Amino acid sequence: MQKSLYRLYVSLLLLSFVIAIIYSLTYIVPVIKIEYSVIIEAIVAVALFYVILRFFYFLIDSIMKEAPENAIFTVKQLILIVWLGALGVAIAAIFGVNVSSVILGSAFASIVIGLAAQTVLSNIIAGIALMIARPLRPGERLTVVTWQFGNVFPSYPPKFFSSDYLLNGYTGTVEHIGLFYTLMSDDEHGTIEIPNSVLVQALLRKYSDKITTFVRFQVQPGQDPEEALKRARNAVLRCEDVIGEPDVLIDEAVSGGGFVLRIIALCKGNRQEICRSKILKELLKEFGASR
């Protein structure tokens, strides 16, 4: 029902536009003589332009089928505005009006408007590109790494002895992709609005339902290395989130005879800190020591 009303609205708007042009050029501006052949040419041009418009609408519906309806509607409206301008110039040319000055004037105006609205237009074009290429989709968890919004510490991957990340980017779940901004929800349930012109240049690190987790654990002096490796492996395997066999290595020796273990495990989910916490809990139970 809504599509039918929209098509009727476009058809009536088009018919009114063509009638207004013909009336203006024929009666108001006394420079055109009425010739039925010219009117037929104008009608044929309108029909051809309408076919072109429907073809562009079909392409938009096919390419942007996963985009929000408001974004698709906005793109169609922009195309309709350009289409009406091109149709008006074509009809005027058919009726013998010199449109060279109109074309030059519109070109100059386009340059001025383009320079004045460069940021806005770049976001719109980038938004359309994101909807067509679809490098990210609503519901995906990812990290956006971009030079426009830097962090204090450009460290990647995170620190291993604390629970926080120091990424040179912003991690969250994609909520909405619009023409101007893309909205993400971060781990603190805050909303991140990223301009599309920035996002289209950014590095996107996507997460799946599995993630490799790195854990470092310091073993107190007096422990046998081979026995410590075996006990650590058993402790990690007790963690229900770990998938398959983990890699347990001696990463470095510390003063006083102790050493640091490095565990590399494939875990369920897409957040390292959750699996790291569970692995550390099992290691603390196994070794009975605090870090």
Q: What is the pLDDT of residues 180-210, one digit of tens each?
A: 888 999 888 888 888 888 888 888 888 888 8
Residue 236, pLDDT score: 92
CB count, 10 Å around CB of 56?
A: 16
Query: CA-to-CA distance for 73 and 44, rounded, in angstroms?
Result: 27
- Any bridge partners for residue 247, and if so which? 264
Residue with tokens 């055109």: 32
**In angstroms, what CA-CA distances link 207 with 114, 132, 199?**
37, 21, 17
pLDDT band at 156 (very low <50, low <70, confident <90, very high): very low
Query: Mean pLDDT over residues 174-182, rounded?
Result: 85
Query: Mean pLDDT over residues 111-139, rounded?
Result: 77
CB count, 10 Å around CB of 110?
A: 10
Residue 161, pLDDT score: 45
Residue type for 289, please? Answer: A
Among 54, 53, 50, 25, which Cα is nearest to 39's? 25
Q: Is it the case that residue 154 has pLDDT exceeding 60?
A: no
Q: Is it the case that residue 159 has pLDDT exceeding 60?
A: no
Locate CATH 3.30.70.100 in the chain.
Answer: 210-287
Query: In sequence order, which residues have a C-beta less than 8 Å from that of residue 250 and are 6 or more positions away?
Result: 225, 229, 259, 260, 261, 262
Contact 99, 92 (CB under 8 A): yes
Residue type for 22, please? Answer: I
Q: Is it the case that residue 219 has pLDDT exceeding 50?
A: yes
Residue 242, pLDDT score: 92
Residue 160, pLDDT score: 46
Contact 60, 80 (CB under 8 A): no
Query: Mean pLDDT over residues 44-48, rounded?
Result: 84
Read off φ and ψ for residue 174, nearest 5 degrees: -70, 125
Contact 186, 172 (CB under 8 A): yes
Cα dihedral 125→81→116→133 (10° resolution): 0
Residue 279, pLDDT score: 92
Q: Is it the case that residue 165 has pLDDT exceeding 50?
A: no
Residue 233, pLDDT score: 92
Residue 39, pLDDT score: 72
Class of domain 136-206: mainly beta
Q: Is it the case that residue 217 has pLDDT exceeding 60?
A: yes
Q: What is the pLDDT of residues 53-112, one digit of tens each?
A: 888 888 888 877 766 676 777 778 778 878 887 887 787 777 776 666 666 666 666 666
Q: What is the pLDDT of residues 231-289, one digit of tens each?
A: 999 999 999 899 989 999 988 888 777 888 999 999 998 888 889 999 999 999 988 75
The CATH number of the domain covering residues in 210-287? 3.30.70.100
CA 20 to chain CA mean position, Å: 42
Residue 103, pLDDT score: 65
Locate CATH 2.30.30 in the chain.
Answer: 136-206
Q: What is the pLDDT of residues 133-148, one digit of tens each?
A: 788 888 888 888 887 6
